[in-house]
Amino acid sequence: MNKFAGISAVAIAAISAPAYAGEDVRYESTPDWVQPAQIDMATLETGPSELLYDWQNRLENGTVHEYADRAVRIDNLDALTREGTLQFNWAPDKGDLFIHKLEILRDGEVIDLIADGVKFEIIRRERGLEQRLLDGRLTATVAVPGLKEGDVLRVARTTTIADQALGDEMQALQYLPSEPWRVGTARVIMSWPENEEITWRAEEEAKLAEPELRGGYKYLTVNLPLAKREDMPHDAPSRFSRYPILRVGSFASWQELSRVMEPHFTKAAVIPAGGDLEGEVKAIMAKTADPLKRTELAVRLVQDQVSYLLDGLDGGNYLPQDASDTWQKRYGDCKAKSVLLLAILRQMGIDADVVLVQTRGGDALPELLPMPANFDHMIVRATVDGVDYWLDGTSTATRLANMADVPTFYYALPLTPGGADLTPLSDRSQAYPDRITDITIDHSAGIDLPTTFTMRMEMSGTAGARLRSIVDENDPEVKKRFGRGFGGGALGRSQVTSVDITYDNERAVGTVILKGVADPVFQFADGDIEVSLASANNVRFAPNRARPKWREIPVATFGPSRNHNNYGLILPNDGKGFALTGTKQIDESYANTRVVRRTIVDGALVRVEEEQINDLGEIPVSDLPDQRRAALKIAKADLTLRAPEGSVWRWERDKDDLAKRTKEALAGYNVAVADADDDDFGPLQARAAFFWLIYDYENALKDYNTVINEEPTSSLFLQRAYLYEMLGQLDKAEADIQAAYDLSPSNDTAYYQAQIIARAGRPQEALDLLELLPVSEDEQDGMVAARSIVLGLNGDVEAGLAVLAQRREEKANSSEVLNADCWYRGLHKVALDDAINVCTRAVERTSNAANVLDSRAMVHYRMGDYASALADIEEALKLSPDLAATRYLKGIVLLEQGDANGRDFVRMALRQSPELADQYALYGIVPKL
C-alpha cells in the first residue's frame, strides 16, 4: 500500500531525525475544555469489561486536540497481559502527548500512579521499515506497576496535532463503533469555537444531531455504540459497507482543499538548471518528439531509478520532497515520486497535475467531507492529445501498451492553483491483456493415453515484473520450483519437465513456458467420449437483492482487467471423425464484462481462443434481470469435442503399440522423476499411475516399492496390494492389505483381506477374521457380501446363500444387497430359478447400472441364455467401457457360441486385469480357447 500520509526507505542510516519540542511526554491536568466523563458504577463489577470510552476533540487555532479517556476492568490473566503494558504514539513534529490520568481503581480506592512517580519511557522505533515506511513517530510506553485481576485501569491522555502542510486548516476523524460492541459508557464529542468555519459529516446511521452552543463553543455529541449495522450484499459497491466515521474539518469544499495543498507540490516540482535531472529530461526529449512516448519514458525513469521510501519526518506525511532532492537521494514516497514525475513532464511541456486518490473505497469520496485524510495515495494526471493518463510513480512496468489503463480509484482530486473538484476516473476497457495463457496438448497418441503439453503464459505490467527478479537471479532450482508451483496440477496429475522464464523489459512482459506430461483430457460420459473446450461457460452472475433494504443497491463490477485463454488440442488419427458441438464463436457481454470466443480447426489441431474483458463499474438494480439473462446465455454456450464412434481404447492395443505411442510421455515422466527433490515422491507416483494406465504392472510395482519404502501410507499399500493381486502374488497382496489396515483400520480393508485370504486357499482363516470385526449397521451390507464370498470359497455355498437371503429380507430394496445376491448366484451357479428376478430388481434400484448388468449377465450365462447375457454385457460396456471383468465374460460367452472373436476379448480383458483368469477359474468359469 502506498501511503499519501507516509514514506519509503533506502539508506535509512543516513537519515537523522531533527529534534522537536514535542519529544517529551507532558504530565498535566485534564484541560478545562474537556467535559469530564463518569464511570457508571452500576456496571463497575458486573457489566462489560470496557467501562468507559470517551473521545473528545477540540479544533481551534489550527490545532486539533485529541483527548481520550478509557477505563477497563481486568477480569482475567489475558486481560492483565493485554492491558498491563500501555503504548501511545504521537508525531513530535506536529504536537505533544499529554498524560492526564494513570489510575488504578481498587476496592473503592483510587491509586494515582502519576502522583506515585510512574513515568512513561519514550522510544523511537520505525514500525514500518520492512514496508519502507519511516514516519518519525515516537512511542510512549509503560508497564503498569501493581496492576492485578479485579482492578480497573483508567488512562486519560491528549495528543495535539498542528500539521505544517495545512496551515490554519484542521481535520479530525473518529470511528463510531456499533453494536454488538459492549461498553458501559461511550461517546464522542467534537467542539470548536463558534466563529470557526467548521463542517461535519458522518454516515447516515450515525443520526447526527445539531451541535449545541455553550460558552462560545459548539459541541457535537454522539453517544455510542450506534445501532447494529445492516448487513450488505457482498457485491455491493464499497461505499455501502464503509464503517461509520465522524469527520469534522475546516475545509469548505474540495476546491479549497485542492487550493491549499497545491503550493507545496508546485514549489517542489522544480528542476534546477544544469543538473543531472535536467540532463535526464533532455535525453528523453532527444530520443523522441512524440509526447506520449516522452510520457512513457518519464514514468519509466521515475519507476525504475527511484526506490520507494515514505519519509514522514518534519511534516513529510503531507509535504513532499523537492524533485531534485528525490532524484539525488534516489528514494521517495508517492508524493516525492509524483512531484518528480510532475516536474519532468512539465519540463517537457506536457500538461500534468498531481492528484490525490483513495486506493480503497474511493467510490465514497463524493459523499465525504472534504479533508486530506480521505486520501491515502498520490499519482499524476497527464493529458496528451485530449486523453487523460493516470500515472503512478510508485508502480512498475508502465509502458505504452498499458499506460492508458485506469486505476480502480474511482475519483481523484487534482491539486491546482485555483482549486479543483473531484474528478471521476472514467473507466475504459483495458487495451492489452494482463495475462495470455496458451496451452497446447498433444493427444495424438490416443483418446485415453497420456498427453504431452506446452503451456505458455505471458504476464504484462506489474504481474510480469514479478518474474524479472527470477530471471535476474537465474537460479535453476528457483526456476524449477516456480514451474512446479505454477504448472503442477494445472492439467490433472500433470508433471512439469522443463521451465523457461524470460522477461522483456521493453514490453514489460514476463513469459513462462512450461512443458510436461499429463493425464488424458477426454472423459467418457453417457456413451460419448468427449472433452469440454469452453471456459467461458463458468460465467455466473446471480446477485441477491431479495431483501427489501437491498433493492436499490447496485452491483459492483471489478476491473479493469483483460485475460486471454487459448487452448489447443492435437487429436489422434489426424482429427478424423472428431466433431465439435456447441457455440464455436462468441462475442457477448454482461455486467460490464465482455466474453469473446473463436474456434479454429486445422487438420488435427482444434484451437479455442477466449478473452474476458472486465470493466470497473456498477449495475443498477433495474438492469439486473437483463444482465442475468445475458450471463446465463454465455454460461449455456457449451463447446464440446466428441471422439468418433469406434475410437480405439488402450486395452485394444497390444503391448508394443502402447509402448510406441507412449514413448514421449514416458520420457517426460522419467525427466520429472529424475528432477524431483529427494523427498518429493509425486513424480514417482505419477509415473506409477502412467505404467498402470498402460498395463505395465511390473514397472508400476517398482515405483510403488520405491515410494512405499520412503513414505508409506495406507492408500499406497492398498494400491500396491491390488497390483500384487493382478500379478497373482496373493501372499504379498495380503501383507500389504494388513499393512494398510495397521495404518488406518477400516472394515472395508478387512473385507478385502478376507477375500484374498480365501482365494489363497485359507477360507476358514478368512471367516475367523470376519468374525472378529466390530460391524455397525451401516457396514452390514459390505460384511454380508464379503462373508458370502468367503463361505462360497469354503465350500459352503448354501450358507453363503442363506446369509444373503437373510440380509435381503432386512433390506429388500437395497441395490447393494440385491446385486451381491445376484452375483453370488451367478458365480456359484446356484438358486438360478428366481435369480433373474433378484438381478432385475438390483438393476432397477442402482445408480451404477454397469456393475449390476454384469452380475445379471453372469446369471444369464450360467443359465445358458447366451443371447441375454450378451445383451446385458453390451449395455454394461456402453455405460462403462473399461470393465475388464465384463469384457472377459463377453469373450467366454462368444467362445461358448463358437465365435473365435471371443479370444480377442479374453486377451484384452486379461491385459487389463490378469488376475481374472485365476479368479474365475475358482468357480469353474474358464474360456474355451
* pLDDT tens, residue by residue, 793-815: 999 999 999 999 999 999 999 99
% of the chain exceeding 90 in pLDDT: 89
Which grid cell sits at 551?
433493492
% of the chain exceeding 70 in pLDDT: 95
In sequence order, what are the beta bridge partners of 412?
357, 423
Mean pLDDT computed over 765-782: 94
- Residue 7 pLDDT level (bands cut at 50, 70, 90): very low
* pTM for the full predicted model: 0.86
Question: Which residues, 6 or more positions from 448, have their beta carbon under 8 angstroms from its beta carbon?
Answer: 520, 522, 529, 649, 650, 693
Name the nearest CA neighbour of 110 among 75, 77, 156: 156
Which amino acid appears at position 118 of this protein? V
pLDDT at 8: 28
pLDDT at 18: 39
Note the pLDDT tens digit of each residue in 108-142.
999 999 999 999 999 976 554 444 455 678 999 99
pLDDT at 15: 26
Which amino acid appears at position 413 of this protein? L
- The full DSSP string for 782-815 is HHHHHHHHHHHHTT-HHHHHHHHHHHHHHSTT-H
**Is 17's pLDDT higher than 70?**
no
CA distances from 232 to 237, 238, 549, 908 (A): 10, 10, 9, 61
Contact 433, 560 (CB under 8 A): no
- Residue 489 pLDDT level (bands cut at 50, 70, 90): low
In sequence order, what are the beta bridge partners of 249?
171, 199
Domains within the chain, CATH numbers bracketed: 7-249 (2.60.40.3140), 255-424 (3.10.620.30), 521-644 (2.60.120), 812-929 (1.25.40.10)
3-state secondary structure (DSSP) of residue 884: helix
Name the nearest CA neighbour of 486 among 513, 466, 519, 510: 513
- Residue 490 pLDDT level (bands cut at 50, 70, 90): low
Round the CA-based radius of gyration of the chain to a whole number and report it.
38
pLDDT at 1: 40
CA distances from 239 to 246, 556, 619, 833 (A): 15, 10, 15, 75
CA distances from 879 to 369, 581, 703, 874, 925 (A): 68, 21, 32, 9, 24
**Is 480's pLDDT higher than 90?**
no
Note the pLDDT tens digit of each residue in 700-722.
999 999 999 999 999 999 999 99
Long-range (24+ apart) CB contacts under 8 A made by 627-631 are 627/541, 627/590, 627/591, 628/541, 628/542, 630/541, 630/588, 630/589, 630/590, 630/591, 631/539, 631/540, 631/541, 631/542, 631/590, 631/591
pLDDT at 526: 85
Phi, psi of 654 (to 5 degrees): -80, 175
Note the pLDDT tens digit of each residue in 585-616.
999 999 999 999 999 999 999 999 999 999 99
Lowest-confidence region among 471-485, 801-815, 831-845: 471-485
Note the pLDDT tens digit of each residue in 303-338.
999 999 876 544 447 899 999 999 999 999 999 999
From the centroid of its chain, how far is CA 730? 46
- Indicate the burial class of 813 (C-beta count within 10 angstroms; 0-12, 13-18, 19 or more): exposed
Name the nearest CA neighbour of 450 among 670, 650, 698: 650
Lowest-confidence region among 155-169, 463-477, 853-867: 463-477
Note the pLDDT tens digit of each residue in 437-450.
999 999 999 999 99
Residue with cell 517398482: 702
Question: Which residues, 6 or more positions from 109, have their beta carbon under 8 angstroms from its beta carbon?
Answer: none
**Is 12's pLDDT higher than 50?**
no
Mean pLDDT computed over 817-833: 97
Lowest-confidence region among 156-170, 308-322, 562-576, 771-785: 308-322
Helix 815-828 and helix 849-862, axial crossing angle in degrees, nearest 10 = 30
Note the pLDDT tens digit of each residue in 194-244.
999 999 999 999 999 999 999 999 999 999 999 999 999 999 999 999 999
Cα–Cα dist 516/452, whole Å: 6
Note the pLDDT tens digit of each residue in 371-387.
999 999 999 999 999 99
Note the pLDDT tens digit of each residue in 530-551.
999 998 778 999 999 999 999 9
Question: Which residues, 6 or more positions from 41, have their beta carbon under 8 angstroms from its beta carbon?
Answer: none
Q: Which helix (H) or strand (E) holds 495?
A: strand 495-504
Cα–Cα dist 135/820, whole Å: 76
- Residue 486 pLDDT level (bands cut at 50, 70, 90): low
Question: Which residues, 6 or more positions from 888, have their beta carbon under 8 angstroms from its beta carbon?
Answer: 905, 906, 909, 910, 913, 916, 920, 927
**Is 836's pLDDT higher than 80?**
yes
Mean pLDDT computed over 450-467: 94
Question: Which residues, 6 or more positions from 107, have their beta carbon under 8 angstroms from its beta carbon?
Answer: none
pLDDT at 135: 63
